[in-house]
Structure 1
Amino acid sequence: MSEGVFALEWGVVQSCPLERASKISARRSMKNMNDTTSNVSVLANGTNSNVDSSASQPLSFEALLAAYDVPRPVAYGQVVKGTILPVGDNAHFYVAIGQKSDALLPKKDTGELKAGDEAEFLVVSDGEDDEFTMLSFTRLQHQREVEGAWSALLQLVASGDVTEVTVIGVEKRKDDDRISGVKASFRGLLKGFIPLSLVQGSVDGLIGSSIPVKVLKAEDKGRFSNILFSNKAANEALVGNAIADLAEGTVVTGTVTKIMLEKKDARNEGAPRRETGVLVEFQPGVSGFVHKSNISDSRGVKPSDVLKLGQVVQVKIISIDTESQRISLSYKDVEANREAIAAQQADAIRNQLGSLTAGEKLTGRVKRVLLERETNPSAEKRELGAIVVLPNGTEAFLHRNECSDSRLVSISHLMKVGDEILVEVKFVDLEAGRVQLSYKKVAENKERVQSVSDELKSSFRSGLKVGDRRNGTVARVVPFGVFVRIGGGIEALLHVSEITSDRSRQEAELAAFKTGSPLDVVISKTEEDKGHTKVWVSLAQEQA
């Protein structure tokens, strides 16, 4: 090149913008390439030691490029190695990549690299149409992170292990705008979907939070990739693993998350549902149930009287069912809780009973009917009374003697479990924490009690005849004889004279009778006395 021409071109380079300069540099590079190609053609005739001079045919252009290590052009999407040069402009660095001309690297795409660093770059523009080759370091790193994320997802699908994702939004149906699931991000790089049926609990408040998932499907289809997660399966796996590490008798610390209520059924329809216990979460996703009987020994104390939502408590693991993943806990069996339980029980009972007044009438619900204890489990058990739940939640006792004056009338003749009955508060014992009720004192109940009593008396009397044999049970032994239950609430008297006429042997003979033991008797006499039916019996012949 002549000196004048060089001076002219240099002046143009100095005065033109970068784009213009790049075009001139590209033309100069092309001219140098042409000169090199001419030299290669000459050397190919035998003057270059790298080329086989014995070849009879001319070498192809590709072979000449390979022989003289002429750099091949880079392509879009290719990864190249390069060194950042200490020259550039305000927005770019030059990068030497082994080509005839250097590439451009925008400074916003350099990450933490600086001049002099050697690294790999992604080709984002391959220099066609007289443009510079453009590179990016950060895009290459992002691409590799995405590839790593896909590799991790495929491994998670194969292994079934649990990972975490971030909930980034909800997905709604197009037809009715109902929520169909949530959108989740894996490592902030890949987006997947969790159907509503595979989300544990409510989706409210999940956006922005991290949740455990299992990867059910991961298909890389570019823009239309298919990634499916399950939060429910992950929680089940985590709970299963956590339960496997637990041991019965261990004391753990947890938080009260829910007050449990009894199920709705025909027995409590229309009435407020009672509390059955509380749930305590003591590991993420792992909760146990504390039944009310394991919170307090007092039947009148509700679980919420002792434990509050959000309260941090110590509980003991009393049973673990690994198959159903159910854990039973106890609050009262932890030594540190007993003092607090006693104080809370006393306060709760005083608050409940303090609102009751002797003589007031209330409507209560029959919870259960109690039977008196017997020494002989096989013997007939009489009804002792009923537990009645009052409007304030207090469980009060209704004794059978407060239901009717007639021995023929039992509790089950007047009420059954689940019935709403009108009762009167007989007395309140704040110290003992007890309330006793009366049914027969309520004016509205007297007519019903009398009607039932008259009907039973008429029925029983018509079937009660002297000489009839009855299979009875020894109720109690007294100095003058034995009372025998013969049914219908009647206790007939077997006088000691019917057992033996020898007074010296009467005490010994009576000692032979045991409460609850069966005894066959014959009715010897009946008598009505102030609404009561009195019956006397004698021993059946084989027992005489």
Structure 2
Amino acid sequence: MDELNKEVTDFKGLTEGDTVTGKVVKVEEKQVLVDIDYKMDGIVPISELSSLHIEKASDLVNEGDELTLKVKKIEEEEVILSKKAIDAEQAWNDLEDKLDKGTVFDATVKEIVKGGLVVDVGIRGFIPASLIETYFVEDFSDYQNKTISLKVVELDKAKNRVILSHRAVVEAQETEKKQQLLGSIEVGQTLEGTVARITSFGAFVDLGGIDGLVHISQLSHEHVEKPTEVVSEGETVNVKVLSVDEDNERISLSIKDTLPGPWENISEKVQPGSIVEGTVKRLVNFGAFVEVLPGVEGLVHISQISTEHIGTPQEVLEVNQQVNVKVLDVSESDQRISLSIKEVEAEKNQQVFKAYEKEEDNAGFQLGDMIGDKLDKYK
């Protein structure tokens, strides 16, 4: 018996561990018969066809297919072969090369399991849920039979462990896109973006793959207490690029600089001689600055504050006080407006005096008559 086994083992030099090539001659439900030019066909059990679970051998191979196989066992009446072993050897070499080079490759999702996805990369490759996308994925069903791009992130041959990541591919693509976008953005450009996030100090605007910050001071020409007063998440806005820091991936933006300035066409809004209402914003030694339009302040010189002599503006004015002022002069190019409170008061006094004179005229005849009668007595 030992001699017979030795003869079978040595037939055509075929031994366990050899690699052979053959043609599939029959596909049964749980095994495949392969002609390997031996005295009998080799058998590939379904468990040796793939590292993944398959229901029928026909799910993976067809009659006539050429297969490279490893001899697993040689017995008197059968030769057991493995496609899975050959695939695994090639796969480990290929995966180690891909890991070293950071190669991106495609694979098709074959199974959805608890905690992630399984792909066939010659051996069983696992994509944990946390490495599928850059965002949380709740339902994996859409990935079944889907081809996705992957990177190898961990290999452990001893434990037959292959960890793959689609997220790493997406992140690398996003980083590359960011760098390209950063390189194309120039200071002074006006771009369109979408408000992505709002914070207490400003708003982050998505410029198509990278966010820039619009500081609260750059949201409007007017004073802004809260960014939500002027922008909302998801809103499309025009922004001007103030600065670009490629090393730190920071972009400073301004919405204010894309809007008409408060002084633009000011001479059409405020004309010399007109009387307007304003708010006292600042008091200085030489006068008071009064806001007559949002973002537009004019100066009331101390000599134009009151009809009476005053030593300091604080004697008659206080910050946030509402006052009526007369426009004396407007200069759009210098962004300067000269105002007067005194002339408003003088005009009021003049109107009161005229009204009093009118009353005097109406009462004058009676008064004259009375005085005249009395004067007659002394004639």
Question: What TM-score do the two structures reach when normalised by structure 2?
Answer: 0.49
Q: Which protein shows a greater Rg?
A: 1
- The one of the two structures with greater contact order (alpha-carbon pairs below 8 A, sep at least 6) is 2
Question: What TM-score do the two structures reach when normalised by structure 1?
Answer: 0.36
